[in-house]
Amino acid sequence: MSRFFTTGSDSESESSLSGEELVTKPVGGNYGKQPLLLSEDEEDTKRVVRSAKDKRFEELTNLIRTIRNAMKIRDVTKCLEEFELLGKAYGKAKSIVDKEGVPRFYIRILADLEDYLNELWEDKEGKKKMNKNNAKALSTLRQKIRKYNRDFESHITSYKQNPEQSADEDAEKNEEDSEDEDEDEDGVSAATFLKKKSEAPSGESRKFLKKMDDEDEDSEDSEDDEDWDTGSTSSDSDSEEEEGKQTALASRFLKKAPTTDEDKKAAEKKREDKAKKKHDRKSKRLDEEEEDNEGGEWERVRGGVPLVKEKPKMFAKGTEITHAVVIKKLNEILQARGKKGTDRAAQIELLQLLVQIAAENNLGEGVIVKIKFNIIASLYDYNPNLATYMKPEMWGKCLDCINELMDILFANPNIFVGENILEESENLHNADQPLRVRGCILTLVERMDEEFTKIMQNTDPHSQEYVEHLKDEAQVCAIIERVQRYLEEKGTTEEVCRIYLLRILHTYYKFDYKAHQRQLTPPEGSSKSEQDQAENEGEDSAVLMERLCKYIYAKDRTDRIRTCAILCHIYHHALHSRWYQARDLMLMSHLQDNIQHADPPVQILYNRTMVQLGICAFRQGLTKDAHNALLDIQSSGRAKELLGQGLLLRSLQERNQEQEKVERRRQVPFHLHINLELLECVYLVSAMLLEIPYMAAHESDARRRMISKQFHHQLRVGERQPLLGPPESMREHVVAASKAMKMGDWKTCHSFIINEKMNGKVWDLFPEADKVRTMLVRKIQEESLRTYLFTYSSVYDSISMETLSDMFELDLPTVHSIISKMIINEELMASLDQPTQTVVMHRTEPTAQQNLALQLAEKLGSLVENNERVFDHKQGTYGGYFRDQKDGYRKNEGYMRRGGYRQQQSQTAY
Amino acid sequence: MASRKEGTGSTATSSSSTAGAAGKGKGKGGSGDSAVKQVQIDGLVVLKIIKHYQEEGQGTEVVQGVLLGLVVEDRLEITNCFPFPQHTEDDADFDEVQYQMEMMRSLRHVNIDHLHVGWYQSTYYGSFVTRALLDSQFSYQHAIEESVVLIYGSLSLKAYRLTPKLMEVCKEKDFSPEALKKANITFEYMFEEVPIVIKNSHLINVLMWELEKKSAVADKHELLSLASSNHLGKNLQLLMDRVDEMSQDIVKYNTYMRNTSKQQQQKHQYQQRRQQENMQRQSRGEPPLPEEDLSKLFKPPQPPARMDSLLIAGQINTYCQNIKEFTAQNLGKLFMAQALQEYNN
């Protein structure tokens, strides 16, 4: 409903007026055709005409105002939108315009807009800075307005010829109607702005004024002012119609003005009264509005007006604070949640205020719990983007809040919390029945855990900040533990499983130093100090893991939780060197078969577990197992990616932004990382221990396979080096050690594998570094001995075991067992001479030439066989049945013959 | 350089023992019908080839060059040569023909024989029987009938040319099994070796004699070295590779044979069915079915080119010859060593 209209119709009842307007609008045109009709209802008709016109024009002016605003902030897109609306509105107002002439303000906006656009268009710099949408809109709008303005060319040119004057006029008008304007513009006081913006309304109001005058005059001196009346009406319409003749008209008006000076004064008085009334009414209405829609007001306030002002307005003074009121308020606040333009921070503040109020008024725990749930939820909501993480203060607040919530829940065992409790069935205050609150503490905690991970992911792991954040981990664990205790009492098995998994996820990767210590020093009882005892209190993490995991194995119904639990359990076993338990669990779970169907985070966990398993095997001295476990991860060369410890640069081009974001979210926080260098070193060393003896044993074998491609690659890289300096990196150390081992030089090998540098880089990272080192030395000695025997057995006729034992610093039984094993496995063609403790070589290994000859013989054999097949074809081209039979027969024979032939060959080869 | 003289018959075999052996070697390959019965090479040419090979041919790299000379009666005299520059992938616009023409023109200016009589190529452990060699020798022989290819590698120098039979086959460009069968060609009759004679001027011969007298005796012991397994191993390795290739080739041929026979069978069945149907139709008094083009219905499979297998066979033959020769010599040495040891004991 138009404000001008309301102001205009002073004494008439508002309601009837609006109704009248609605009814008469469609026929307005008809009435408009007889403006000079001097009947009783002339007033009415006139007003109706006016109202239709005003309505249209007001629509236009409103649009124009928005356009002007948009122009000011250079929002061309908005301009375009509004311009299109304006065009439509103008089309609607066509009938009136036909009668009244093109409104001046309309021409003005067209002209201004065109100028403005041209200006923008010329401004190359600005255009560059403009965003795409705006630039696009600019070109479209420019074209449109050009086309459109063609229809108004004459008007525009005339306007452009004397824009000054019209502006002056406007200013004049503005002065006249300043009271009105102030109300309308709501404190926008810049003169220029007013001038342009309020041009239309002022024009209208002036017109309106004139009409008022007319009416007055009609009543007062009706007999002689017949022509004046017409004149004024005509001038009225003219003023709109022909902008060019404005001056003339104005002068005419002015000429006549003196005659009606007194009337005018009276009118002015009247107007003032009216304005006052209107003002009052308006303010009243505002008050009403405020009272009516509090909720709406809240929203509006949140739009950016400082909060401080609003706080006291939470509840009107003196309102009795009851449950219903608080809940209503809460719902109001929550409704704004997720809406655009809602200030999330303010919302949190409000909720907290609400809690305070609720607490102050003793509304009971139910309400507080309910609000707290919502506070935490809105804390999580604070960041609209999944990728961004919580600010530290938010995080702190969140932790506190959850803690408080837990306090309440523990203190009041009669509160039931659950996500399956419907809003309707909530019981927040009825103390007789158990309190029921909707909300899920588990979800909150899970979300908290996610947020924690996100924070850790987004913090630079080498900064102090990270350490600070990491300190919160204890708190997170404490919360999880509390929730766990809570849920153990009240939750369903499913919930318990979930919280157990959460607990497991926060436990599995931590090395239990206390338990480790305890293991090393068997309980001596009294000698322990108090402090030690205090430290040793609390469950062994192994026992804890066992308990949690077993529960999950037994109770869980979702596969995912069980899989994760198993993996964590294995990881934990492996971390604490319980190799056999870990391995058995891995094999029994059959995870290796179906892990590829799991989702990526689980796969990452699986990879981590495998790696930990491999490292565990290595510590136990089980090189083969270690190698097998690590093979998959290492052979791909993407260990970093597979373990979720970083993105590969190489594939950055391949994946798009979206994928990268997803992958980034999957990254494991730094404190869970497995040292990649250690991983690689373990892998390479186990590969070395396997590969070097194997290579020595199969020196001349044509079909020698590689055990570890990666290891070979490293060797080749080492060979390609034009200048071999002392090894620097871990890889170079391993390569150098491999070379030494190839020659059976275990001492050099040892010194390359275990030295200051390698200690610092790798070995010291193990929890039991010394144990690992001793194991490693022994392994090196054994494998070097084997390599030595493979490589140089052809040189010896016999060798005493004692010498070997001296050479490799192994005790005699070990040497004996190694050699025996080699003989049994037919790796070494030799026999042991017990009395003299010597190894007697049989010297039956073929030389290189003999080997080649053997291979050649084999190849020739297959060649002959193939050739015979060709021959078969030639003999029996027809008669498929017989041929087949014959073929089978011949094949057999061929095989026999071939065998004989081969034997012959190999005999001659020796 | 220009000291070319018409020497008479004084063949110098001292510089290369195998070359001499080759000279006496089999000339049976049907060289009778060719005009050239002997290749006479100037010492200069031999030295130039050796130098070229030693300087540029490393490992499996192959060096090539052009032989210049004249045909005199039934012998081809090779009096000079020049090398081809090493090919690189980068300068693809290098024009070999123009290079040759200019080279020959320039040599003519200094009064050197400028007639193109063949080309030479180095070899790595005797692996020269390849398609590339066959093709280029064919084009040479096609243009200049008497041209030969000199193969140099590990102190042996041999002259080869394609047999007239092979020339015909190559001209036909049909290497299908049938064509080769018709031509009655086997790997033994692909290349024929032309005996070579190395000829030097008298002055050089005199110098050689003198050098021989002066040279220390110790140098000659190298021939008695027993540590030659490397050479044998290499040869075996290469032989093995070829055998593998041969094997594959045979498998390929085998598949072809099987496919053909299968198709034959199908064709046969089809024909029989057709016949039966026609008989039935006849008995019913209907007109017989129209004849169809069987070759369209059954497209015979593409026969594999047999030339490759021939070449491989030729190559294997060469390797075997090499190994045989080599082992024979080594065995001799071994017996000698044994005898010596027994004598010493």
In sign, the C-alpha dihedral spanning A574, A580, A585, A587 is: positive
pLDDT at position A306? 39
Residue bearing tokens 């996500």:
A419
With a cut of 60, say whether residue A293 has pLDDT above it.
no
- Read off the pLDDT of residues A440-465 as tens digits, 9 standing for 90 and up: 778 888 888 888 888 888 888 888 88
Question: Which of B232, B236, B246 has its CB closest to that of A863?
Answer: B246
Which residue in A702, A862, A849, A905 sits closest to B235, CA to CA? Answer: A849
Helix or strand run (H / E) with residue A823: helix A812-824
Q: How far is CA A291 from each of CA A284, A287, A308, A328, rounded to the nearest angstrom?
A: 11, 6, 20, 15
Question: Which of B229, B251, B268 has its CB closest to that of A866?
Answer: B251
Q: From the CA of B100, how many Å to the nearest CA of chain A?
A: 40
pLDDT at position A238? 44
What's the pLDDT band for B206 if we cut at 50, 70, 90?
very high
What type of residue sits at position A511?
F
CB within 8 Å of A304: residues ≥ 6 apart: A343
With a cut of 70, say whether residue A179 has pLDDT above it.
no
B chain contacts of residue A890, beta-carbon cutoff 8 Å: none
Q: With an 8 Å Cβ cutoff, is A882 touching chain B? A: no
d(CA A426, CA A409): 16
In whole numbers, what is the pLDDT of chain B averaged over residues? 78
Tokens of A77: 């897109």
Question: Which of A155-164, A426-435, A545-554, B203-212 is predicted with the least confidence, judged by mean pLDDT?
Answer: A426-435
Q: With an 8 Å Cβ cutoff, is A875 touching chain B? A: no
Asked whether the beta carbons of A647 and A641 are under 8 A apart, the reply is yes
Q: Do B250 and A867 touch (CB under 8 A)?
A: yes
d(CA A504, CA A357): 39
Helix or strand run (H / E) with residue B157: strand B156-162
> C-alpha dihedral over B324, B329, B331, B332, to 10 degrees?
140
Question: Which of A848, A863, A878 has its CB closest to that of B250?
Answer: A863
Question: Which of A307-321, A639-653, A705-719 is predicted with the least confidence, judged by mean pLDDT?
Answer: A307-321
Chain B residue closest to A851 (CA)? B233
With a cut of 70, say whether residue A165 has pLDDT above it.
no
- Read off the pLDDT of residues A562-600 as tens digits, 9 standing for 90 and up: 888 889 999 998 888 889 989 998 888 888 888 888 888
Asked whether the beta carbons of A246 and A165 are under 8 A apart, the reply is yes
Residue bearing tokens 């499983």:
A497
In sign, the C-alpha dihedral spanning B185, B28, B117, B91 is: positive
Length of chain B equals 345
Tokens of A676: 């990649």
Q: Pick the more confident residue, A430 or A670.
A: A670
With a cut of 60, say whether residue B111 has pLDDT above it.
yes
pLDDT at position B91? 61
d(CA A475, CA A675): 26
A chain contacts of residue B264, beta-carbon cutoff 8 Å: 877-878
Task: For residues B226-230, give the mean pLDDT.
Answer: 69
How far does chain A reach from its first CA to its final CA, in angstroms? Answer: 115
Q: How far is CA B154 from the centre of its chain?
A: 16
With a cut of 70, say whether residue B269 has pLDDT above it.
yes
Q: Pick the more confident residue, A541 or A277.
A: A541
In whole numbers, what is the pLDDT of chain A averaged over residues? 70
Tokens of A773: 């080192």
Q: Pick the more confident residue, A491 or A753.
A: A753
Q: From the CA of A903, how many Å to the nearest CA of chain B?
A: 18
Task: For residues B278-292, give the mean pLDDT.
Answer: 79
pLDDT at position A820? 92
Q: Is A783 helix (H, G, I), strand (E, B) or coil?
A: helix
Q: How many helices (H) and strands (E) does chain B have?
A: 10, 8
Q: Is B192 helix (H, G, I), strand (E, B) or coil?
A: strand
Asked whether the beta carbons of A782 and A810 are under 8 A apart, the reply is yes
A686-691: long-range pairs with CB below 8 Å, 24+: A686/A618, A686/A623, A686/A624, A686/A626, A686/A627, A686/A630, A687/A627, A687/A711, A688/A734, A688/A737, A688/A738, A688/A741, A689/A623, A689/A779, A689/A780, A689/A783, A690/A623, A690/A624, A690/A627, A691/A738
Task: For residues A612-616, give the mean pLDDT.
Answer: 90
Q: With an 8 Å Cβ cutoff, is A862 touching chain B? A: yes
d(CA A367, CA A370): 5
pLDDT at position A515? 75
Q: Are strands B38-42 and B196-199 parallel, antiparallel or unpaired?
A: parallel
pLDDT at position A7? 42
Q: Are strands A830-833 and A838-841 parallel, antiparallel or unpaired?
A: antiparallel
Q: Do B254 and A873 touch (CB under 8 A)?
A: yes
Helix or strand run (H / E) with residue B41: strand B38-42
Residues of B with CB under 8 A from a CB of A: 229, 232-233, 236-237, 239-240, 243-244, 246-247, 250-251, 253-254, 257-258, 261, 264-265, 268
pLDDT over 70 for what percent of chain B?
A: 81
- Read off the pLDDT of residues B44-65 as tens digits, 9 standing for 90 and up: 888 888 888 888 877 667 888 8
With a cut of 60, say whether residue B243 has pLDDT above it.
yes
Q: How far is CA A772 from each of CA A618, A693, A747, rounded to the nearest angstrom?
A: 8, 21, 17
Which residue in A174, A180, A166 sits closest to A195, CA to CA? Answer: A174
Asked whether the beta carbons of A316 and A348 are under 8 A apart, the reply is no
pLDDT over 70 for what percent of chain A?
A: 63
Task: For residues B267-293, give the mean pLDDT.
Answer: 82
Question: Which of B229, B244, B253 has its CB closest to that of A849?
Answer: B229
pLDDT at position B139? 86
Most confident among A94-103, A144-153, A213-222 (mean pLDDT): A144-153
With a cut of 50, say whether residue A396 has pLDDT above it.
yes
Helices (H), ranges, B33-152: 43-56, 96-109, 131-143
Question: Is this structure's pTM higher than 0.80?
Answer: no
- Read off the pLDDT of residues A4-63 as tens digits, 9 standing for 90 and up: 444 444 444 444 444 444 444 444 444 444 444 444 444 444 444 556 667 777 777 887
d(CA A562, CA A565): 5
Helix or strand run (H / E) with residue A218: helix A199-220
Asked whether the beta carbons of A866 and B254 are under 8 A apart, the reply is yes
With a cut of 70, say whether residue A790 has pLDDT above it.
yes
Helix or strand run (H / E) with residue A571: helix A559-575
Q: Do A859 and B253 touch (CB under 8 A)?
A: no
pLDDT at position A17? 41
A828-843 in b/e form (b: 16+ CB < 10 A) is bebeeeeeebbbebee
- Read off the pLDDT of residues A250-283 as tens digits, 9 standing for 90 and up: 444 444 444 445 555 555 555 555 555 555 555 5
Q: With an 8 Å Cβ cutoff, is A880 touching chain B? A: yes
Question: Which of A156-160, A376-380, A702-706 is predicted with the least confidence, judged by mean pLDDT?
Answer: A702-706
Q: With an 8 Å Cβ cutoff, is A852 touching chain B? A: yes
pLDDT at position A233? 44
Q: What's the burial of A265, exposed, middle or buried (CB within 10 Å: 0-12/13-18/19+)?
A: exposed
- Read off the pLDDT of residues A105-148 as tens digits, 9 standing for 90 and up: 777 777 777 787 777 777 766 666 667 777 777 777 778 777 77
B chain contacts of residue A859, beta-carbon cutoff 8 Å: 240, 243-244, 247
**CB A521: neighbour CB atoms within 10 A?**
10
d(CA A779, CA A584): 25
Most confident among A310-324, A402-416, A733-747, B142-156 (mean pLDDT): A733-747
B chain contacts of residue A856, beta-carbon cutoff 8 Å: 236, 239-240, 243
Q: Are strands A435-438 and A798-800 parallel, antiparallel or unpaired?
A: unpaired
CB within 8 Å of A734: residues ≥ 6 apart: A681, A684, A685, A688, A714, A752, A753
Q: What's the burial of B46, exposed, middle or buried (CB within 10 Å: 0-12/13-18/19+)?
A: buried
A159-191 in b/e form (b: 16+ CB < 10 A) is beeeeeebeebbbebbebbeebbbbbbeeeeee
Helix or strand run (H / E) with residue A559: helix A559-575
Residue bearing tokens 């060719």:
B34
Tokens of A595: 């892990």
